[in-house]
């Protein structure tokens, strides 16, 4: 049986939600001007879905074996398999190797995900969606129809396609030995969630599947929130352990580290990581995962508390002397500079 709150739902696979708490997610404005219009068309109309389908066709033709070469991580009874999809996205298959049960995070290409499921010989029982954007949720329909016991999890505030099981902050999804906690991280979208796989049951590191909140040396755009909202979400991640493995939603490492070098050119940890990333990308190898400990050392979006960035970019404390306000201003400026850097 599957239990969700006080509702009892029929099903053959052991998949359970434990509700441990909740956190309100406030309404937030969208981006302004023409960006707002493009974003609204993408997220709120069928034009966005048609654009996603075009992306999917082009990527399958251009990268028949995926945009990057990935390696699974094997732990004690748990396997994490990155699946390269579209032009730079990652989906993730998380497998209880003893029970042969799997969940998938952000299955944007159902064909690629299904191929991995068949190769691994596992039963898909859950889809964990970080947010509504088609490049993260586009495979929900096909996979949930193909796997009749499969549930689709995500935030009810985010309009997740084919959502069956809404999650709140701190809810835990259990699949076999897998214990996966949802954390509310609004900003990129109003209902964005990240998923934390607890490492304790398999005596290994915890794994953070961060969607579009956090990338190697980067963070997502604030489409449906403010800088304060995004800062709070990034601080949620900062509260996790240094050995937590970071599995982001995109392969943005080289570009992000290039920008980090502009704002913090003397950061030796960034330079070492860039050298490694460039070697990986020359061979089209994936750069996933990094660790949160590494990210603290070179990711500028996690370093708004650092004096070197505050002196280089920060406006100083806000009019009330509130340090959090100052960090939010710095984060907003970093995001603007990053957008300009990408457009060059």
Q: Is 343 exposed, middle or buried (0-12, 13-18, 19+ CB in 10 A)?
A: exposed
Contacts with 164 (C-beta within 8 Å, 6 or more apart), sequence order: 144, 151, 152, 153
Query: Which listed residue (135, 147, 169, 171) is catalytic?
Result: 135
Residue 188: active-site member: yes
Task: Read off the DSSP letter of residue 198.
Answer: -
Query: Which listed residue (4, 136, 147, 165) is catalytic?
Result: 136
Buried b (16+ CB within 10 A) or exposed e, 298-313: bbbbbbbebeebbeeb
Whole-angstrom CA distances from 179 to 96, 197, 298 are 10, 6, 30
Query: Which listed residue (4, 67, 133, 192) is catalytic?
Result: 133
Residue 135: active-site member: yes
Residue 192: active-site member: no
Contacts with 167 (C-beta within 8 Å, 6 or more apart), sequence order: 17, 153, 154, 155, 156, 173, 182, 193
Whole-angstrom CA distances from 141 to 88, 96, 126, 138, 202 are 21, 23, 12, 7, 31
Query: Which listed residue (67, 131, 147, 165) is catalytic?
Result: 131
Active-site amino acid positions: 131, 133, 135-136, 188, 212, 250
């Amino acid at each position: 049986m599957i239990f969700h709150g006080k509702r009892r739902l029929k099903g053959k696979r052991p998949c359970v939600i434990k509700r441990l708490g909740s956190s309100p997610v406030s309404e937030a404005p969208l981006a302004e001007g023409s960006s707002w219009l493009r974003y609204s068309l993408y997220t709120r109309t069928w034009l966005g879905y048609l654009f996603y389908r075009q992306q999917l066709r082009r990527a399958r033709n251009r990268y028949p074996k995926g945009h990057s070469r990935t390696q699974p991580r094997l732990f004690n009874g748990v396997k994490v398999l990155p699946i390269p999809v579209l032009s730079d996205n990652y989906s993730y298959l998380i497998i209880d190797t003893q029970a042969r049960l799997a969940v998938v995070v952000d299955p944007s290409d159902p064909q690629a995900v299904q191929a991995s499921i068949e190769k691994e010989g596992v039963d898909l029982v859950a889809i964990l969606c970080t947010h509504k954007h088609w490049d993260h949720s586009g495979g929900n329909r096909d996979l949930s129809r193909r796997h009749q016991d499969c549930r689709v999890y995500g935030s009810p505030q985010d309009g997740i396609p084919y959502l069956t099981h809404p999650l709140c902050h701190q809810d835990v999804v259990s699949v076999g030995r897998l214990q996966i906690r949802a954390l509310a991280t609004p900003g990129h979208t109003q209902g964005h969630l990240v998923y934390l796989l607890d490492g304790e049951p398999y005596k290994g590191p915890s794994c953070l599947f961060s969607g579009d909140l956090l990338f190697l040396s980067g963070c997502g755009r604030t489409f449906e929130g403010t800088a304060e909202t995004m800062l709070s979400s990034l601080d949620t991640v900062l509260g996790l352990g240094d050995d937590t493995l970071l599995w982001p939603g995109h392969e943005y490492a080289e570009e992000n580290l290039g920008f980090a070098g502009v704002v913090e050119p003397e950061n030796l940890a960034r330079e070492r990581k860039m050298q490694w990333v460039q070697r990986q990308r020359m061979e089209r190898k994936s750069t996933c995962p990094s660790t949160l400990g590494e990210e603290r050392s070179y990711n500028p979006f996690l370093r708004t508390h650092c004096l070197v960035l505050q002196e280089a970019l920060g406006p100083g404390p806000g009019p009330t002397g509130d340090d959090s306000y100052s960090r939010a201003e710095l984060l907003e400026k970093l995001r603007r500079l990053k957008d300009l850097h990408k457009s060059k």
